[in-house]
């Protein structure tokens, strides 16, 4: 069998640095804290760590507003800490993928400080500037994801600048070749330091329509958010012109050429567009752009076998030789167990969901805490830190509920920090299912996660094989993963009731070692609530 690149079928563990582990008692997680938990992360059986932004930043958007691409914010540590993290991770055979926020910077970046002064300075064209309309209003109707107009007036220049996110996050002008060249230099700084890959934030937002055409309205029935609240006016438009422009493809080819100079490195793009599945396919086809992409399609409230099947099949139809990466949770959306499991979700559901997403064709991003079955935390307004949630309160409470610190122990502070208070509180309900308590419970979500990932490593069909969905009973997702070595039937009970399934006749070898119990009798499988089964095709057919 041809040797596959390490990232194909990899499980990538997303670390949100603020919330993993605080090493110095200031109430905020940091890089040394991540290093101290590398043995734990290794025990999860993952292949890589995606580290959310740690760069120098005023933290208006918690690091996604970068003021210096080449330095570490003192809140998290320093460059020596990053070098040590890379080295220590590599010593444990774990890859390091870092977040790169290329489409915009902080308004405190030195480039923007120069650009905003006048229209003639050396960086005057490094950001997206536009004259006002005749009546002084913004140049078009584009909206910010974080609420309101996407244009902010700058009196020093007498122009508006574009911000697709916060007004403190001005968009870079990628139509300027100097900007593209400089951004590639910023990326190469980290490649030279030894990182194994880049998670590319909002990568389809790099280019805007040069004609600044208005976005058309979207009918009310179609205003369904993908990574943003449906109460947000952003959902009222078809975002045809403020992102996902054709010029981005040539830039991605330049980025890929740079990565190809560093063998073994990988790019993972975050996609949020009007047709994210089509954009995912477009950005990964041909082997000359991104290695893989993920979108918000499985990060919504939609939860059914039919929805997941139609989402994956739609992508498979267009992706060709491209490669997807699936995620059911991250730092931008409510915890999956609350989103899909309701007010009192079952730990068995958490086990099933982790196994399900790790069995789809593609790589996987697993957000810290999913291995514990953490739920969304309901925080009062006075505890919120996220400007997105503060703006849209109370209809939308923002992203803080999925960002609360990891519960390592049942002690006050959850073993996360020695500080009297943390940047966000450790939830009482999380301390009850801490790492320490779950490690002592053989039937815990944590131990189920470890058992499953260890078992999955030995099955190339689950990591690299193709996928074919089968018609099945209601509330059951069923598909076959197949390569030249094996064909494996994978079934997942999405309901809280026992389910009896009839399986294809040629699948007759129940697989064990994955941690799930099921019974096969006379071509029927009995699945318990949120049960899982894996059955191999007989070798003699």
Residue whose pair of structure tokens reads 């494996």 in the numeric block: 488
270 annotated active-site: yes
201 annotated active-site: yes
Residue 223 CA to its chain's centroid (Å): 22
Taken in order 44, 46, 48, 52, the sign of the CA dihedral is negative
- Say which of 270, 282, 316, 376 is annotated catalytic: 270
* End-to-end alpha carbon distance in the chain: 21
Taken in order 13, 16, 17, 19, the sign of the CA dihedral is negative
Residue whose pair of structure tokens reads 């330049």 in the numeric block: 254
The candidate with the shortest Cα–Cα distance to 202, out of 64, 57, 402, is: 64
Contact 291, 322 (CB under 8 A): no
What is the length of the chain? 541
Residue whose pair of structure tokens reads 């210096």 in the numeric block: 68
Close Cβ partners of 406 (under 8 Å, ≥ 6 residues apart): 19, 20, 21, 368, 369, 414, 416, 435
Distance CA 109, CA 114 (A): 9
Whole-angstrom CA distances from 245 to 1, 212, 392 are 38, 12, 29
Distance CA 258, CA 339 (A): 39
User: Sheet harboring 466-469: ordered strands across?
Assistant: 466-469, 476-482, 487-493, 532-537, 507-510
- Say which of 30, 99, 201, 400 is annotated catalytic: 201
Taken in order 136, 139, 144, 147, the sign of the CA dihedral is positive
Residue whose pair of structure tokens reads 């006048």 in the numeric block: 118
Count of CB atoms situated within 10 Å of the CB of 523: 12
**DSSP single-letter state for residue 213:** P
Kindly list the catalytic residues: 201, 270
């Amino acid at each position: 069998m041809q040797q596959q690149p390490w990232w194909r079928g990899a499980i990538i563990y997303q670390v949100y640095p603020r919330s993993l582990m605080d090493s110095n008692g200031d109430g905020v997680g940091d890089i040394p804290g991540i290093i101290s938990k590398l043995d734990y992360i290794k025990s999860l059986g993952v292949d890589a760590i995606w580290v959310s932004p740690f760069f120098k930043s005023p933290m208006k958007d918690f690091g996604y507003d970068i003021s210096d691409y080449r330095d570490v914010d003192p809140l998290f540590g320093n460059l020596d800490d990053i070098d040590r993290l890379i080295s220590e991770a590599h010593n444990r055979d774990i890859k390091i993928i870092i977040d790169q926020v290329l489409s915009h910077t902080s308004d405190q970046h030195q480039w923007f400080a120069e650009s905003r002064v006048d229209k003639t300075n050396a960086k005057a064209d490094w950001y997206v500037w536009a004259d006002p309309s005749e009546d002084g209003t913004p140049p078009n109707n584009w909206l910010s994801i974080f609420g309101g107009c996407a244009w902010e007036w700058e009196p020093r220049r007498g122009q508006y600048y574009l911000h697709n996110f916060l007004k403190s996050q001005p968009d870079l002008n990628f139509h300027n070749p100097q900007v593209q060249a400089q951004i590639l230099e910023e990326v190469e700084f980290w490649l030279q330091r030894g990182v194994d890959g880049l998670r590319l934030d909002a990568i389809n937002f790099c280019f805007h329509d040069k004609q600044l055409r208005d976005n058309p309205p979207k009918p009310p029935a179609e205003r369904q958010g993908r990574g943003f609240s449906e109460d947000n006016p952003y959902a009222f438009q078809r975002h045809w012109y403020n992102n996902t422009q054709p010029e981005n493809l040539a830039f991605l080819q330049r980025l890929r050429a740079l990565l190809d100079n560093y063998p073994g490195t990988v790019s993972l793009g975050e996609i949020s567009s009007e047709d994210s599945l089509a954009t995912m396919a477009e950005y990964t086809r041909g082997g000359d752009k991104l290695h893989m992409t993920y979108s918000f399609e499985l990060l919504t409230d939609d939860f059914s076998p039919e929805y997941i099947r139609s989402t994956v099949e739609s992508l498979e139809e267009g992706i060709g030789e491209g490669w997807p990466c699936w995620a059911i949770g991250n730092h931008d959306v409510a915890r999956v167990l609350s989103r899909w499991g309701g007010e009192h979700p079952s730990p068995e559901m958490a086990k099933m969901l982790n196994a399900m997403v790790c069995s789809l064709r593609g790589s996987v991003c697993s957000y810290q805490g999913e291995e514990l079955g953490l739920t969304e935390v309901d925080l009062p307004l006075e505890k919120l830190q996220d400007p997105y949630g503060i703006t849209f309160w109370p209809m939308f409470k923002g992203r803080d509920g999925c960002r609360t610190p990891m519960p390592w122990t049942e002690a006050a502070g959850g073993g996360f920090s020695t500080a009297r208070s943390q940047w966000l509180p450790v939830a009482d309900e999380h301390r009850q299912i801490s790492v320490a308590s779950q490690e002592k419970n053989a039937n815990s979500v944590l131990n189920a996660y470890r058992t499953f990932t260890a078992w999955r490593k030995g099955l190339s069909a689950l990591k690299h094989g193709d996928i074919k969905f089968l018609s099945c009973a209601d509330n059951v997702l069923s598909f076959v993963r197949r390569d030249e070595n094996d064909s494996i039937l994978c079934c997942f009970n999405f309901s809280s009731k026992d389910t009896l399934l009839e399986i294809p006749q040629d699948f007759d070898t129940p697989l064990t070692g994955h941690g799930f119990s099921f019974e096969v009798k006379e071509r029927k499988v009995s699945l318990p609530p949120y049960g899982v089964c894996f059955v191999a095709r007989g070798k003699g057919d």
